[in-house]
Amino acid sequence: MGKVIVVTSGKGGVGKTTSTAALGAALALRKEKVVVVDFDVGLRNLDLVLGAERRVVYDFVNVIQGDAKLAQALIRDKRLETLFLLPASQTRDKDALTADGVERVIGALKKSFDWIICDSPAGIERGATLAMRHADIAVVVTNPEVSSVRDSDRIIGLLDAKTAKAERGERMEKHLLLTRYDSGRADRGDMLKVEDVLEILSIPLLGIIPESTDVLKASNLGTPVTIADSRSGPALAYLDAARRLAGESVPVTVPGEKRGFFGKLLGWRAA
């Protein structure tokens, strides 16, 4: 059975879709079978970031409503043959997602994929709660600034209350992915430091993605940053984060600081 990951944040524009695509591609590079699912019905973007926007025929809502079979809606990536996309519908809204329908689709995907990565819409409403509903693991994407951190904190509260796992009395595994981090600005006090964010959110760290123009460049090209330029700072950070998700022990480094130093400080452990 595949593992279901939700990539969520509460706040918009912090890098959920970018991170979904980058982590999905990174896991697929390991030859694992990955599907990324766009839950942002009405404002879909994951197809663009993956460069698959012109190949969308059927979408998530079509599958839920029985207009298309799941296999018809899945789009295989042209570069990585184990990476698939289940696109959202752009012409509908979040109400088109039903709890039963989502459960059915996720259940079916778990049978044929190793990883199901759900790209959550921003907010805490229906789309976001359905995206997290059946997750085994949550990746909480946060920018090093106070509003993003507070929204993430709110989302963590919901992950512990509103998910199927929480309702069964189990503990939801939650990881922090700190994106758009600039150690220079953090040192000057222009943004929060890694320690501050970790102290407030108190969940384990999955990775720190440096602020970089490479991310925007890759998005505009329709290529996940992890395959656009695998030597770039963000790509290395996402590749490491994917290895940690897969259970490897990789020390966390703060971009711009000496490798390993911070890793010793924080360590990496699964929640």
Partner 1 sequence: MGCERINHSLTWDSIDPSNQKLTKITKVLTDSRPIRLKGRSFLALTLTPELPLEGWLARLDDLASRSAGFFLRKPVVLDVEGLEIDRARLKELIDELGRRGVRIMGLEGARASQLGADMPPPMAGGRPGPDFEAPLSDPGANPEKPLASVSPPEPQPVRTPSIIVNRPVRSGQSVIFTEGDVTVIGSVASGAEIVAGGSIHIYGALRGRALAGSMGDSSARIFCRKLEAELLAIDGLYKTADDIEPQFHGRAVQLWLEGDSIMAEALV
Binding residue numbers for ATP: 11-18
Question: Which residues participate in the annotated binding site?
Answer: 11-18
Min separation Cβ 6 and partner 1, Å: 16
- How far is residue 65's CA from residue 59's CA, in Å, rounded to a whole number? 10
Provide the terminal-to-terminal Cα distance of the chain, rounded to the nearest Å. 20
Residues near partner 1, by CB under 8 A: 124, 146, 150-151, 153-154, 156-158, 160, 199-200, 202
- Closer to partner 1 by Cβ: residue 38 or 151: 151
- Closer to partner 1 by Cβ: residue 33 or 162: 162
Amino acid at residue number 2: G
Min separation Cβ 246 and partner 1, Å: 27
* Among the listed residues 55, 71, 51, the one whose alpha carbon sits nearest the alpha carbon of residue 63: 71
- Closer to partner 1 by Cβ: residue 30 or 150: 150
Min separation Cβ 52 and partner 1, Å: 35
- Closer to partner 1 by Cβ: residue 103 or 196: 196
Min separation Cβ 262 and partner 1, Å: 22
Min separation Cβ 172 and partner 1, Å: 12
- Closer to partner 1 by Cβ: residue 104 or 150: 150
